[in-house]
Amino acid sequence: MDFELGIGWILLGLPLAFVLGWFASRFDLRQMRLENRQAPKAYFRGLNFLLNEQQDQAIDAFIEAVQNDPDTSELHFALGNLFRRRGEYERAVRVHQHLLSRGDLGRVDRERAQHALALDYLKAGLLDRAEEALRRLEGTPFEEQARLALLAIYERSRDWQQAAAITEKLTASGQGDFTARLAHYLCEQAHARMATGQPDAARALIEEAIAKAPRAPRPRIELALLERRQGRDREAYAALRQVEEVVPAALPLVAQALADTAIALGEVPQARERLAARYAEDASLDLLEAIVALDRAAPQTGHDARESYVRHLEREPSLVAAARWLAGETLTHEKFHPQVQRALDQAAKPLTRYRCAACGFEANQHFWQCPGCQTWDSYPARRVEEL
């Protein structure tokens, strides 16, 4: 009898257990649907705030969405990018580090998170950490972007050897021609060697730069300056002539040095003839000043130095040339000449600056890399008045 009663209870309990299990599953499904409805709602609300440029509200909405669905990587990426854009780099780093710590994160999302973390460090100015994070992106779809970012880091820290290594990788992978940039790096290293009293090592670096970028003006100019510093005027003059022949557009940058060297070597007539020929093709204030310097150094040649200013004014209006010419004139009211000359020189001074073609930064001297925007070769070999 007891056995039959136990069998009855079992038979009665099985349907009951089935019914309870069914109700439990339905409850779990409803709960899951509710959570899924809540997460997209917060997500789309965040998107709406973002489109309306309400970043504070967007961040709050995305945080709510992440709390409702902590496993969604896209929400983390959106939140981390928002933190970075707002300058909250520490919070952005925490979000992306959390993503990288997840064991279930796929390879694509892991590489994406690594790239985002590198950008966080880069924007925060933590260059050592950014370098480490960027190096981990070798062999990933972000490799090119990482190398360019590393190049910017090495340039900012003036680590020219590392920068040269990156440019060689970029050139080898077909991501552009960086030979001109590499020549600048070699010249920068040559400057460092000269500063430490190693002229032979500096010369070797400059010659390497010429070999790698034969059409680049800077290595040849640096070689000429090195020769002049070592008192080798004949070799310096030959190097300056090479600048004129190979890169004539850069001649205004070395015109005065060419004139000074020609005067020291007693080759004024030849130098003047060459500079005058270049000036006739493309007038330049620096070429004009070099010609005037040669005429003043050798008055026996019969050229009136100051007449060059007048001929330049006939060719094109120039406040700089007018001020230079007036400096040697005798005025009717000569006692007022100093005041007039000072006013003209002050007005002409800004016109003798160089201006970056990329950002407009002006400087009294020519730079190979703009101090403002860090762009290479952005300064034309022309003064502001000539642009």
Two tokens at 330? 């005798």
Question: In this predicted structure, which of 50-64, 207-221, 245-259, 329-343 has the lowest mean pLDDT?
Answer: 50-64
pLDDT band at 1 (very low <50, low <70, confident <90, very high): very low
Separation between Cα atoms, residue 144 and residue 166, nearest integer Å? 10
| 3-state SS assignment for residue 53 | coil
| 221-257 per-position pLDDT tens digit | 999 999 998 889 999 999 999 988 898 889 999 999 9
Q: What's the one-letter identity of residue 361? A: F
Task: With beta carbons less than 8 A apart as the criterion, state whether 373 and 361 touch.
Answer: yes
Q: Enumerate the H helices of 213-267 as residue ranges.
A: 217-229, 233-246, 251-265
- For the record, the structure tokens of 143 come out as 């490799």
Judged by DSSP in three states, 173 sits in coil
Can you tell me the distance from the alpha carbon of 370 to that of 358, in angstroms, rounded to the nearest whole number?
A: 9
Provide the CA 103 distance to its chain's centre, in angstroms. 37
Residue 194's contacts (CB-CB under 8 Å, 6 or more residues apart) are 202, 226, 229
Distance in angstroms (rounded) separating the CA atoms of residues 338 and 346 = 12
b/e for 96-123, b at 16 or more Cβ within 10 A? beebeeeeebeeebebbbbbbbbbbbbe
CA 250 to chain centre: 22
Q: What angle do CA 371, 199, 244 make, to 5 degrees?
A: 65
Torsion, CA 175, CA 180, CA 186, CA 190, rounded to 10: -160
For residues 82 and 78, what is the distance between their CA atoms, to the nearest angstrom?
Answer: 6
Q: What sections of the chain are H helices per DSSP?
A: 2-51, 55-68, 73-85, 89-101, 107-124, 127-135, 143-156, 160-172, 179-195, 199-212, 217-229, 233-246, 251-265, 268-281, 285-297, 307-315, 319-326, 337-348
pLDDT tens, position by position, 287-346: 989 988 888 887 766 677 778 888 888 888 888 888 887 776 666 667 667 777 788 788
Residue 362 phi, psi dihedral angles, 5° rounding: -105, 145
pLDDT score, position 40: 53
Mean per-residue pLDDT over the chain, rounded: 80
Residues 383 and 363: their CA atoms lie apart, in Å, by 10
- Tell me: pLDDT of 152 over 70: yes
What pLDDT is recorded for position 220?
A: 92
The residue among 53, 54, 51, 113 whose CA lies nearest residue 81 is 113
What integer is the mean pLDDT of 126-155? 91
Task: Find out whether 95 and 80 touch, Cβ atoms under 8 Å.
Answer: yes
Total-model pTM: 0.73
Q: Determine the Cα–Cα distance for residues 65 and 45; give it in Å rounded to an integer.
A: 9
- CB atoms under 10 Å from CB of 234, counted, come to 12
Judge whether residue 41 has pLDDT over 90: no
Please tell me the number of Cα atoms within 13 Å of 268 on its side-chain side: 17
Whole-angstrom Cα distance, residue 327 to residue 6?
124
Structure tokens given for 67:
């709390």
Where does the pLDDT of residue 95 fall: very low under 50, low under 70, confident under 90, or very high at 90 and above?
A: confident
Q: What element of type H or E holds 360?
A: none
DSSP string, 112-138: HHHHHHHHHHHHHT-HHHHHHHHHTTT
